[in-house]
Amino acid sequence: MKNTPLKGALAAGALTLAIAAPGTGQEVNGHVDAEIRQWEVPYENSRPRDPYVGPDGTVWFVGQRTHYVASLDPETGEFSRFPLEDGTGPHNLIVGDDGAIWYAGNRAMHIGKMDPATGAIEKIMMPDSAARDPHTLVFSGDDHIWFTLQGANKVGRLTRSTGEVELVDVPTPSARPYGIIVDPSGRPWIAQLGTNKLGTVDPATMAYEEIAVPREGARLRRLVRTSDGAIWYGDYAEGYLGRYDPETGAFREWPAPGAAQSGPYAMAVDHEDRIWFVETRQDPNRFVGFDPATESYFFSQPIASGSIRHMVFHEPTRTIWFGTDSNTIGRLAVP
């Protein structure tokens, strides 16, 4: 099933999630074998999330509910835990080439840099009291980390070498900037969950631009980018996988297999530009694979109860890593 190209336009949307009426999802054509493995996290009811593979193969993640940074050795299954201050509410982490752990102190107004050898933490506080909730971090490929602040309705840029934080207001009120990626030019792209809009920032001028998805009911949560420069999104409210072409401004969309009851959330793109996402309104969640070359879904498999909120593709091992609300860290080996 294909649809016609759509053209983006600037338009305000409702600021609440609109749930679409039940519809027909696109069929999954065929199946591939993809091994999924999960490790039970030994820290109870902690919401382990947002794993990231470090340069030595160690998998790092945060415990959002019980305030920690932790690691998993996937070869031995051994876990190690570094407690954070109560009330930190870490939301996300990323790992530098030097092994440094950067985490978003979502409930404590800071980004933390942790030394994995000692557990020592340097806190970089937000320079504005309104910037209360650093959300999702992403490296820029230079000296920067870009990040979203969902409740504060801002996007930030941290210069790692100096600790300087720059903040940009999102033009649409209550836009809820959420997922974020950075393209090779250093330009960030932002999913605005409270609207039907994508956001992007010019890294030279820090000017913010919004691009509306043509359906006003769309609510975007996570993004990925394929090698052709296209920005892909999951529509959490109405159950679509979408593609935006920054060169032409054209949109293409495909209904998710679960249609309006899909709830696409975590996303990743693999070495063959295949799109992977999780349908989180399905119980259990379903892992889905989509091939842009054939415009078809080729994989659908139940995975876990509770939401899978974010995931990353580790190209050296061809694995996608994710955390689940059922207290596991998981890995999908991409075929």
Dist CA 276 CA 257 (whole Å): 12
pLDDT at 13 over 70: no
For residues 210-234, give the mean pLDDT.
98
User: What is the residue type of 312?
Assistant: V
Q: What is the DSSP code (8-state) at residue 28? A: B
Task: Name the 3-class secondary structure at 12.
Answer: coil
pLDDT-based confidence at 23, cuts 50/70/90?
Answer: low
pLDDT-based confidence at 30, cuts 50/70/90?
Answer: low
Task: Name the 3-class secondary structure at 115.
Answer: coil
Dist CA 49 CA 309 (whole Å): 7
Residue 156 or 15, more confident:
156
pLDDT at 247: 97
CATH number of 6-14+31-333: 2.130.10.10
pLDDT-based confidence at 142, cuts 50/70/90?
Answer: confident
- State the chain's mean pLDDT as an integer: 92
**Which of 281-293 are b and which e, b meaning 16 or more Cβ less than 10 Å from the residue's Cβ?**
bbebbbbbbbbbe
Residue 121: strand pairing partners: 114
pLDDT at 260: 93
| Geometric angle at alpha carbon 189, from 14 and 322, rounded to 5° | 90
Q: What is the pLDDT of residues 230-244, one digit of tens each?
A: 999 999 999 999 999
The domain limits of the chain are 6-14+31-333
Residue 79: strand pairing partners: 72
pLDDT at 8 over 80: no
* Tokens encoding 306: 């509770």
Dist CA 294 CA 28 (whole Å): 12
pLDDT at 4 over 50: no
DSSP string for residues in 167-210: EEE-SSTT--EEEEEE-TTS-EEEEETTTTEEEEE-TTT--EEE
Dist CA 86 CA 70 (whole Å): 15
Beta-carbon neighbour count of residue 16 at 10 Å? 10
Residue 334: strand pairing partners: none
| Contact predicate 175/191, CB 8 Å | no
Task: Name the 3-class secondary structure at 261.
Answer: helix
Count CA within 13 A, CB hemisphere, residue 244: 26
Q: What is the pLDDT of residues 268-302, one digit of tens each?
A: 999 999 999 999 998 899 999 999 999 999 999 99
Q: In what order do the strands lie in the sheet with 78-83?
A: 48-53, 59-63, 68-73, 78-83
